[in-house]
Amino acid sequence: MNALEITPEIKQRVQDLRKLLWQASYEYYVLDAPTMEDAVYDQLYRELVDLETRYPALIVSDSPTQRVGERPASQFVSVKHNIPLYSLENAFGNEDLAKWQERWQRQLLAVSGQPSADEPFDYVCELKIDGNALALTYENGILVRGVTRGDGITGEEITQNVKAIRSIPLRLNLDNPPPVVEVRGEAFLPLSSFEQINQEREQAGEALFANPRNAAAGTLRQLDSKIVARRKLDFFPYTLHWGEKAEGRRQKAEVDGVAGEIGEAGGVEAATEGKVTQNFLPQPISPSPLPTPSTQWDCLELLKQMGFRVNPERQQCADLQAVQEYCDRWSLDRTQLRYMTDGVVVKINSLALQAQLGFTQKFPRWAIALKYPAEEAPTIVKRISVNVGRTGAVTPLAEMRPVQLAGTTVARATLHNSDRIAELDIRIGDTVIVRKAGEIIPEVVRVLYDLRPENTMPFQMPSQCPECSQPLVKPDDEAVTRCINASCPAILRGALVHWASRQALDINGLGEKLVLQFVDTDLVRSVADLYDLTVDRLLLLERMGKKSAEKLVGAIADSKQQPWARVLYGLGIRHVGSVNAQILTQRFTSVEALAAADVGAIATVFGIGTEIAESVHDWFQNPGNQQLIQRLQAAGLQFIGEVVDSDQVSAAIAGKTFVVTGTLPTLKRDEAKAMIQAAGGKVTDSVSKKTDYLVVGEDAGSKLTKAQTLGVAQLSEVELLELLDRGEE
């Protein structure tokens, strides 16, 4: 069949439809001022689809029909950023902002010999969007590449998904665009979209997203861009680069600013063949009529001209006092926004001053991010319940009227123990203040006694276990109330979930819902029973298909290959976390050796004190636990470890305490921990005065904040590897 002839009339009609739909989309998604009714838009869109279907030669990459790909992407390719994306230094109050201003003014004096009287010291403030950074590349005005931040040096190319974000133009609104333009900004999920997504996931029985940021990250990495389009991500730009494209290289001039989670190279830079050299004077790009910005504010206005929706809440501030007033205002008003923001990014407005100040090894000197403190909110206690954990610990919980905290809906908060309940004097019906910092479990911080209803009664901890009805005990030297019935269903459920967890035996597919069925049907009475399960026995469970049963049996069998350290951690011995399990198995390389050791021998191991030693010793003296070990050995679990080679022990690492936080560029956290432990170091989960080093990756969070407060030394992945290499010399 011959291809249909493309007449000039058809070609013009396609061009006119695209132009009209581009404009309508821009007015609807960017300006929030639609001029075309949805039904009209849909009809014109269908006409364009029909024409492009009949005349495929007319399809172009920036057509409105190309926003959502017809086929899911098969993979994401790792690509190198044209210019690295820097991190931002954090401030946690007005005092930190004042110190930052003093630092950059001292640096300016050191660089120039005197403070510059010619350049104004004004600032630009932008809300710090809690989303995911993107770098967008346009060639001749057409979007050709979208890349995630990654580690700041390389990211994942997700161009197909970027095209599904309606507020990102596929074509720049410029009659004569430069050959190459790169725009950086923050993709985020509006709160309304986040709530809708979680409602749909709950109805489908899927795990809920923890917060809009996680949901946005998961959306950007979808293999099907149609899903991305449905979830209605949005985008705010904050950085502009432009340049000229040449064969074998790309020359790029940068006009910069920073917001969101990342910073950018400041001033104007030219990048040639991978080498970046300071150029600081804006280079006119002929024949483009674009103006040459001299300030960050100019850059944002230019981005608006190009067709982007720039955050309207930005503000120019004449001095630090105005900056502080802006930050204080948004610390309160941010709850009224349609998206999440966790702070304010403050930048020196002048690009010339930015160029003079430059960078430290990690941060631009001319920008800083002020982070807001933990969110608190009032709510009402509807009920006080107790939860029994895998160790038998009974934890009281306040069940409350749902409240929004840190981007999530919170309906329960921990009350810790009976001592904390007595201290708060919390009662059903009380109005309480709930706090949630980062990913920490929500907690009740205080009670508003003036709002207490009449006739309330103090809460009393139960005397019997709510799961097994056996008496609860509270040792004199502990604040925790416990169930000591080893057959308690709650303890068994917790033990099974812990055994299957990622840091323990890592049994894929064995989650809480399945564990609940195991215990309720009496199919499993201990972790050893897992290794007696067969496909036929699993098929007796509700909603269990043959394929799922086969996969689970296979995953359980695979767990037999997990090392001795993971098995010891999985046993759930009190006070023995994954770090202590690693330390103990390096000293006691078999279960027989550990079981035969007395308290004194165990306590002499570096990092293991008397309390942990007594807990381990007592556990192995229990006849029921001895029988459990015998059954697990018979099932084929690993109870013998490798002897640590003394040659691997690093003098620079041995005896030092490390904490690993955030996402590292190339190593998984478990890999980094294993390397530290193999070199003789200790890895813990929390930062304290005893911490020697904090290994920091992307999205480090509260651990980095605490380390900065305590003055704990920080290491990047590269610096950690250098430290490990140094110890091997």
Residue positions forming the annotated binding site for Zn(2+): 465, 468, 488
Extract the annotated binding site for NAD(+).
38-42, 87-88, 126, 149, 186, 347, 371
Amino acid at 364: P
Within 10 angstroms of residue 487's Cβ, the number of other Cβ atoms is 11
Contact by Cβ (8 Å): 519, 499: no
**Distance in angstroms (rounded) separating the CA atoms of residues 88 and 365:** 9
**Distance in angstroms (rounded) separating the CA atoms of residues 183 and 255:** 10
User: What is the biggest distance separating any 2 CA atoms in the chain, rounded to whole angstroms?
Assistant: 92
Dihedral (CA of 461, 467, 470, 472) sign = negative
**Distance in angstroms (rounded) separating the CA atoms of residues 524 and 504:** 18
Extract the annotated binding site.
38-42, 87-88, 126, 149, 186, 347, 371, 465, 468, 488
**Distance in angstroms (rounded) separating the CA atoms of residues 708 and 125:** 24
For β-strands 132-139 and 657-661, DSSP reports them as unpaired
Q: Which two tokens stand for residue 303?
A: 């981005």
Residues in the chain: 729
For β-strands 657-661 and 682-684, DSSP reports them as parallel
Radius of gyration of the chain (CA): 30
Q: Which two tokens stand for residue 567?
A: 């098995």
Strand ranges for 389-480 from DSSP E: 393-405, 408-414, 431-436, 443-447, 472-473
Burial 308-346, CB ≥16 within 10 A → b, else e? bbbbebbbebeebeebbebbeebeeebeeeebbbbbbbb
339: number of CA atoms within 13 Å, CB side?
Answer: 24
**Distance in angstroms (rounded) separating the CA atoms of residues 155 and 143:** 17
Number of H helices, E strands in the chain: 24, 25
**Distance in angstroms (rounded) separating the CA atoms of residues 481 and 477:** 11
**Distance in angstroms (rounded) separating the CA atoms of residues 426 and 453:** 12
What kind and span of H or E run contains 133? strand 132-139
Q: Tell me the Ramachandran region of residue 43: left when phi exceeds 0, alpha when psi lies from -120 to 50, beta otherwise.
A: alpha
Residue 629, helix vs strand vs coil: helix
Contact by Cβ (8 Å): 89, 363: yes
Instruction: Say which DSSP state 210 is in.
Output: S
Task: State the catalytic residues.
Answer: 128
What kind and span of H or E run contains 324? helix 320-333
**Distance in angstroms (rounded) separating the CA atoms of residues 161 and 246:** 27
List of residues 6+ apart from 184 with CB closer than 8 A: 85, 133, 134, 135, 136, 237, 238, 239, 241, 262, 264
Nearest-10 Cα torsion for 212, 216, 217, 223: 140
* DSSP states of 458-513: -----SB-TTT-PBEE--TT-S-EEE--TT-HHHHHHHHHHHHSTTTT--TT--HH
**Distance in angstroms (rounded) separating the CA atoms of residues 151 and 149:** 6
For β-strands 693-696 and 657-661, DSSP reports them as parallel
CA 110 remoteness from chain centre:
38
